[in-house]
Amino acid sequence: MFFGSFLQKRTIFLCLTIVALTCSPLMTPSARAEGLAFVIDSGAAAISLVDVTTLQEIRRVPVLREPHHMALTPDHRFLLIGDTVGNQLIFCDPISGEIVRRVAMPDPYQLQFSPDGKTLVVTELARNRVDIYDADSYHLRFRLALASLPSHINFSPDSKTAFVSVQQSNRLVAIALASGDVRWNVATEDTPAGVLWLNGRVLVAVMGGNGLAVVNPATGAIERRVMTGRGAHNLFLSPDGKTLYVTNRVDGTIAVLDAKTLVVAREITLPGGPDDLDFAPDGKLWVTRRFAHSVAVLDPESGKYAIIEVGRSPHGIWLNTHDHLPRAIAARETQP
C-alpha cells in the first residue's frame, strides 16, 4: 500500500514538473521567435529576451557582471552589448539572441556607431575615458581622458564629430573623429546624460536641470533650455521624425515634444524610473523602468501600458522588429 501510494505521488510530481517546464516562459526556445525585445538587466548580469507578440520573457541570457547598453553593427550581423564591470564586448545574434563570441574591452558602458558605419565610439564610464575604434577591425584608434563619468554619445550626420556627455563634470564634449582631438568642452547644468542631433542642433538631457539644453554644434554655446521634468535622462526621436520623447526618471514621466519646435505637447505618467525606450511596429513604446525591474509596453496616445517583469535594474532596450532586420535575415539566409 505504501509502495503504491509512493508511486502514485511520484507520478503526479513528475507530470507536474514536466508541465511546469513546458509552460515556463524562461524555457521556451527563442531561436525563431516572431520578434524579440532585448532588455539589458544591469543589476542581474543578464539579458532578458522578451517575445514582442506574447509579451512574455522567454529566456534570460547570463553575462559576466554588469551590462548597460548595446548597438547593432552597421552590417546588422551582430548586436553588441557592453559588459562594463566584466570588461567584455559581447556579440549577440540579433535574431535569436544567442551569444556568438566575446571580446575583451575595457569598461564598455555606452557604445554607438557613427552614421557612416566606419567608427565605433565607446565611453568608459568608470575609467573616465572615451575610446574611438575602427568599426571593421575594432582596432583602437584614439583614447581620450574625460573626467568624470563620460556617458552618452551621438554624432553629427556627416560622421565627423562625436558628442559625449560627461555626467559628474557637468560637461558636453565635441570630439573630431578623424584626429581624436577635442573641438570644444562646455559646461551644462548638473548631470547631463542622453545626447541627440536634431535639426542642426545637439540636444542633451540634463538630469539636474530637469530638461534639455539645445547646443550649437559649431561652438558648444547653449542657445535654449526646454523644461521636461525632474531627472530628464534620455531622448528618442519617433520613426517618422515628428515626435521627441524625453524620459524623466525622477518624476516618473515621459514628455512628448514636437520635434520641430521642441514645445512640450503633453506628459505621460510612467512611474518606476523610465529610462531607455524603443519603438514597436504597432506604434507602442517599450520602456525600461529602471527602479521597478520591469518593462512597460506603452500606448503613447492613451497613456495605457502593460508591464513585463524582467531582471533587476533594466537599462538598455532594443527590438529586432525594425524594418532593416527582415532584409538582413533574407540576405543571411541566401548566403552559402
What 3-state DSSP class applies to 291?
coil
What 3-state DSSP class applies to 88?
strand
Mean pLDDT of 294-318: 98
Give the model confidence (pLDDT) of 271-304 as tens digits. 999 999 999 999 999 999 999 999 999 999 999 9
Q: Would you state the cell numbers that stand for residue 336, as one nine-digit string? A: 552559402
11 has a pLDDT exceeding 70: no
Mean pLDDT in the chain? Answer: 90
Q: Which of 9-23, 159-173, 257-271 has the lowest mean pLDDT?
A: 9-23
Sign, Cα dihedral of 68, 71, 77, 83: negative
Cα 74 to Cα 120: distance, rounded to the nearest angstrom: 10
CATH architecture of 41-334: 7 Propeller (2.130)
Question: Looking at residue 334, what is its pLDDT?
Answer: 52
Cα 223 to Cα 68: distance, rounded to the nearest angstrom: 31
CB contact at 8 A, 201 and 174: no
Residue 320, φ and ψ in degrees, nearest 5: -90, 25
H helix or E strand, kind and range, residue 319: strand 314-319
Question: Looking at residue 234, what is its pLDDT?
Answer: 98
Question: Looking at residue 17, what is its pLDDT?
Answer: 35
Give the model confidence (pLDDT) of 135-160 as tens digits. 999 999 999 999 899 999 999 999 99
Domain ranges across the chain: 41-334
Residue 10, φ and ψ in degrees, nearest 5: -65, -40
Cα 149 to Cα 199: distance, rounded to the nearest angstrom: 27
Give the pTM.
0.87
